[in-house]
Structure 1
Amino acid sequence: MKLAQKVTQKAKLNQTLRSWLPILQASSDELKDTLEPFIKDNPFAKIEIDKPHHSKNFYNEFYSNHVSDRIEQMSVYECSLYEKLYSQIDKPLFPTQKSKDIANAIIECINSEGYFEYNDEILAKFDAKDVEKIRKRFAYLEPIGVGAKDYKESFLFQLDELCDDDEIYTLAKDMINDFENLSKYTKQKNYENALKIIKKFKNPPAVEYLEDEAQVTPDIYVFTTDEGVEVKVNDEFYPEILIDTEGIDEKCEFVSSRIKEARDLIDALEMRKATLYKIGLMIIEYQYDYFLGGDIKPMKLKDIAGDLGRNPSTISRAIQNKFLSCSRGIVALKNFFAAAASEDISNAAIKDFVKNLIKQENHQKPLSDEAILACIEKDFGIKIVRRTITKYRKALNIGSSSQRKKIYAINS
């Protein structure tokens, strides 16, 4: 009897998991589209988006009206970079399921600026040659230049799209590949025309999406109160699965099977909420100081996966294209998972510091890696080697001081 009960429970869980994983991976704004295929042939279920006005609103209970208004304003949404990319993973560029799987994994490795950053945890199950072959096809996706490893490759992606003159194309390609020595091409016949093309390029390739970063819909809210830090899942506009069997014999096999499918979908939605809530709690536990004004601390997927009893790949799905809203703004969940630069300081904190330094640098005299290193050692009180700064700079797709000086000159 106990064995039969366990088998039945396992079968129900497996059925729920089949719908849970894509629902878990979907962003809040993709949920409706993700759910629809599961109930399109079910005459007894429908998706309801807008909840009744009298439904419970925890924001009004938790904060005053002006804070609730601020949350509502933060929830205005426009198409994100990742939604744009996922929508293009289809034929003819990605005709097989394998090519689609690799392309979707590559998207998980694209940072907010549109550049590709190799991630062993995400891409380990794919052959490196296959990954590179599929990544090259991103040259044909929008925004143009996305998926490139650095600004040079992004420029080459954009050049293919924006230049149809063979002579200008050849010169511009040479100039991009030899960007450090741009001045030696000034006497070339098509130099000015090639330079005009290069000036049209977007750097970084997803720059227009960076401007809209604050307009995404948060999946998790973190509130700092007198009693500490609390987490809430943003389920205010969650799709609801409504089951209607009025006047129908629920004992009929066809009806009962469809009702079961709808209830499995409801269970999958609840599992999504529960998983995001647990991830929110774990982020608070690991990153408590961040919500009180500190830096993001070292945190790995396997840390949280172990605590939650899940596979790291499941947690990776859960955090992709998901955002957390707190008093410090809206933060991508994946930003909380950083490798350690020291025991208490994360790579993410140092990278942010480097990025801000370069944003404020003198365009006539850009900071060298040695100068950046000195600033980091002074502000963070840690000792690291210069090549580490070079590695961080390259990971951020920031050129050397001489490269930046040339770019500043072109854009001036």
Structure 2
Amino acid sequence: MEMGLYQQQTMKLVMTQELRQAISLLQLSTLDLHQYIEEAALENPLMEIEEQDTSSMHAESYDMPVMWHDEPPEMQEREEHNEYSPFDQAKDDRLRVPDYLIQQIRLMPVDKFETKVLKHLASNVGDNGYLEGTYEETAAVLPVSWEKYEECVAHLQRLEPAGIAARSLKECLLLQLQRKFPRYELAEQVVSDWLEELGTHRWKEAAKRLNVSLADIQKVYDEIQQLDPYPGSSFGGEKPVCLVPDVYVERQGDTFSVELRDEGLPKIRLNRQYRHLLENKEEGEAAEYAKQKYKQLTWMLKSIDQRQQTIRSVTEAIVEFQRDFFKDGTSQMKPLTLKDVAEAADVHESTVSRTTTNKYVQTPHGLFELKYFFSAGMNNHDGEQTSTFAIKDMIHDLVDKEEKQRPLSDQKISTLIETERGISISRRAVAKYRDELNILSSSKRKRYV
């Protein structure tokens, strides 16, 4: 091959920094975008942000594509004091399990050493209510004998709530049953010796060995279902997360309107000093720096505007496809793919995927993630497709209405859906959807009383 220098023109798709920014902003939720704007304001001295205030005066607008307004210092100070969110007043009053136990230990008639051991044990009770750690670990910290350790554990297990400080599920259930009055001795015996068989519905063997009927085992099962396997679950745990909708769908007669949650975003105000520097068209290093930062600011604003418009168009397309859902609920959900919405909104499928990620919509039927409205479907005898959500509702309704002494098998459910709804669905598909609905198999749903 001959060596040499040659010129060749080619076309390449280059991801500019601005394009990357637009793509990344599209994936952010409204809360994440709020945080992104605040972080950008720390890096760009031209940006000054303020929270939305519907009672404030209309902002002045200029030829530049940035909205700002200048106000007297006392007005700005008043706005800062008026910034209010109802979530700012929400206090985190969650009481941890160890704190609740220690409050009770202080009222117990025990000596100082036992109090010290009890507080140590209480600090080792996890959020689920179970006692963590071993005697050896406690003995390495405190000079306590095995007998005293077991005595202190017993003291701790007498505290509220029932079942607290257990070291296994069996012990937790027994502690709760032992507080029942009158005592349910059969239930205690089943939990003590036949808990695994009870959980796997191997009741015949347990009934035979205990010389009781299956109806008696059913009553024990129902009693145990009322117990709490995690007595510490009502305390502490993770801090609850507040989901804020990014878009609203409101019904107005037979039509639906899509509204974006713009009030969740802060208003961006151009810094007064830099604004004068740009308007006077001065030269120098400071002016060039201001122009560069202003360019970044305007591109970010354009990206935010494009993000809002994309969310609106994608949501409107979803509403158009799922109009029956917004009217009548989940049972009317239709099959929908990213491609369907992409074609309706005139965007790429990847754009629809990014737009629906971490975005929530407030509908007349509740709060849903935008991705919730996408699902596969199955054809009925007429060639029409039915969403998997609707099929799950059919399975749920059939199980609710079944005769509990003779529950429907997966094959029977499949046959009923085909004969009543005209949808051909396999037994394996029924089993799959049943598992997703957390519905037990027919053998485990069977009742004897």
Q: TM-score, normalised by structure 2?
A: 0.51
Structure 1 residue aligned with 2:36: 34
Count of residue correspondences: 287
SS in 1 for 2:339: helix
Distance 2:444 2:429 in 1: 19
Of 428, 431, 439, which residue of structure 2 is paired with 1:390?
431
Letter in 1 for 2:307: R
Structure 2 residue aligned with 1:51: 53
Distance 2:324 2:228 in 1: 42
Structure 1 residue aligned with 2:200: 180
Structure 2 residue aligned with 1:327: 364
What does the per-residue CA deviation read over 1:12-31, in whole Å, with 9 as the maximum and x for residues that have no partner?
x9433322333222222332
Of 410, 414, 418, which residue of structure 2 is paired with 1:369?
410
SS in 2 for 1:345: strand
What does the per-residue CA deviation read over 1:69-90, in whole Å, with 9 as the maximum and x for residues that have no partner?
xxxxxx9889xxxxxxxxxxxx
TM-fit CA distance, 1:185: 9.1
Q: 1:349 to 1:257 in 2, by over 3 A?
A: same
Structure 2 residue aligned with 1:21: 23
Q: 1:34 to 1:276 in 2, by over 3 A?
A: same
Distance 1:166 1:265 in 2: 55
Trace 1:252-291 onto structure 2 (pairs within 5 A): 252-291=287-326
Q: 1:36 to 1:21 in 2, by over 3 A?
A: farther
Distance 2:396 2:54 in 1: 45
TM-fit CA distance, 1:270: 0.9
**RMSD over equivalenced CA pairs, Å:** 4.8
Trace 1:135-146 onto structure 2 (pairs within 5 A): none
Letter in 2 for 1:345: T
TM-fit CA distance, 1:307: 4.1
TM-fit CA distance, 1:177: 12
Structure 2 residue aligned with 1:225: 252
What does the per-residue CA deviation read over 1:212-253, in whole Å, with 9 as the maximum and x for residues that have no partner?
99x732222223334733322222322333222435523512
What does the per-residue CA deviation read over 1:141-171, in whole Å, with 9 as the maximum and x for residues that have no partner?
x99xxxxxxxxxxxxxxxxxx9977999xxx
Distance 1:352 1:332 in 2: 19
Q: 1:373 to 1:167 in 2, by over 3 A?
A: closer
Q: 1:201 to 1:376 in 2, by over 3 A?
A: farther
Structure 2 residue aligned with 1:302: 339
Q: 1:260 to 1:392 in 2, by over 3 A?
A: same
Distance 1:55 1:366 in 2: 66
Gaps of 5+ in 2: 1-10, 59-84, 89-126, 129-164, 172-191, 210-223, 232-236
Distance 1:394 1:402 in 2: 14
TM-fit CA distance, 1:262: 1.8
Letter in 2 for 1:258: K
Work out which of the two has the higher radius of gyration on C-alpha atoms and give 1 or 2: 2
Distance 2:397 2:347 in 1: 36
SS in 1 for 2:302: helix
| Higher mean displacement: 337-346 or 16-25 | 16-25
Gaps of 5+ in 1: 1-6, 57-74, 79-141, 144-161, 188-194, 203-207
Distance 1:21 1:177 in 2: 54
Q: TM-score, normalised by structure 1?
A: 0.55
> Greater helix percent: which structure?
1
**Contact preservation (8 Å) 2:169, 2:229:** no
Trace 1:142-157 onto structure 2 (pairs within 5 A): none
TM-fit CA distance, 1:350: 1.6
Distance 2:36 2:442 in 1: 46
Letter in 2 for 1:318: T
Distance 1:273 1:33 in 2: 16
What does the per-residue CA deviation read over 1:245-264, in whole Å, with 9 as the maximum and x for residues that have no partner?
43552351211111222222
